[in-house]
Amino acid sequence: MPVPFILVRGQNVPLVGDALCVLPSESGLEFIPGRDKCKARDGLPTLITLHDTAGEGSGKAIYTNGKRRGVSYHFAADRAGLLHQYCDPAAVTAYHIGHGNSRSVGIEIANAVFPAGIKIGFFAYAKRLVLTGREKLYGREVIEDDYRGKKRRVLGHFPAQEVAVRSLVLTLLREFPTVPKRIPPPSLMPGRVTGVRLDPEWQGVAGHLNFTDAHVDPAGDIYEAFKDVLSP
């Protein structure tokens, strides 16, 4: 049964707000660390990283999708805005951004960003994904956000997801004061990442697209959910 708390340092800690979470003990999903193997935390997290590319499914589908790709997260928010926890963010690292995982808490949101989109280009820096107009929106809106200094049209989030992600981010900021209450600067360099993920400048509440040119997630509207608690 979903509960109004998450597991941190082996303890149940209450979620800020009204969100509910399915704990690992309830789902029975074994944490699969992915390519990075299971590593103990190297110090406390200084980064929360949001993702959007696990497809459109349930907590179990997000888990299975990650497992198939050799990646993992600490948490997910499904389409209904229900949170799912896969492991204790204070205890283990998950493999979701590559270098920097050791300091990051990973949150995957069920939103395909470019559902049924087409890829144009061969090299990662040239990769463009576009909406085709045939996407299944399920009541969501297509939004326009900034991607490395350029406008793009992507699929936004469900209101219930924004409520859940706000709750989770605020809870994690409370539990991990080592995460600065700020959004790291966007990478403006097409094709490569500016900054090193463990530099102080790159700590805070980030999106996957801050760190690698090969990823376009998350859609920018998710920051509206909690940016009032962050420094500009």
User: Which CB sits closer to Zn ion, 157 or 215?
Assistant: 215
The answer to the question of residue 217 lying near Zn ion (CB under 5 A) is: yes
- Residue 157 as a binder of Zn ion (CB under 5 A): the answer is no
Options 11-19, 68-76, 202-210, 220-228: segment touching Zn ion (CB under 5 A): 202-210
Which listed residue (187, 206, 208, 222) binds Zn ion by CB under 5 A? 208
Q: Does residue 213 interact with Zn ion by CB under 5 A?
A: no
Which residue from 6, 48, 51, 157 is in contact with Zn ion, where contact means CB under 5 A? 51
SS (H, E, C) the chain: CCECEEEECCEEEECCCCCCEECHHHHCCCCCCHHHCCCECCCCCCEEEEECECCCCCHHHHHHHHHHHCCCCCEEECCCCCEEECCCCCCECCCCCCCCHHHEEEEEEECCCCCCCEEECCCHHHCEEECCCCCCCCCCCEEEEEECCEEEEEECCCHHHHHHHHHHHHHHHHHCCCCCCECCCCCCCCCCCCCCCCCHHHCEEEEHHHCCCCCCCCCHHHHHHCHHHCEC
Nearest to Zn ion of 5, 119 (CB atom): 119
Contact 21, 15 (CB under 8 A): yes
**Binding characters for Zn ion, 63-92, by CB under 5 A (x = yes):** ------------------------------
- For Zn ion (CB under 5 A), the number of binding residues is 5
Among 119-127, 169-177, 210-218, 222-230, the segment contacting Zn ion (CB under 5 A): 210-218
| Residue (7 or 62) nearer to Zn ion, CB | 62
In the complex, least distance from residue 209 CB atom to Zn ion, rounded to whole angstroms? 8
Q: Which is nearer to Zn ion, 197 or 208 (CB)?
A: 208
Q: Which CB sits closer to Zn ion, 67 or 174?
A: 67
Residues forming contacts to Zn ion in the complex (CB under 5 A) are 51, 53, 208, 215, 217
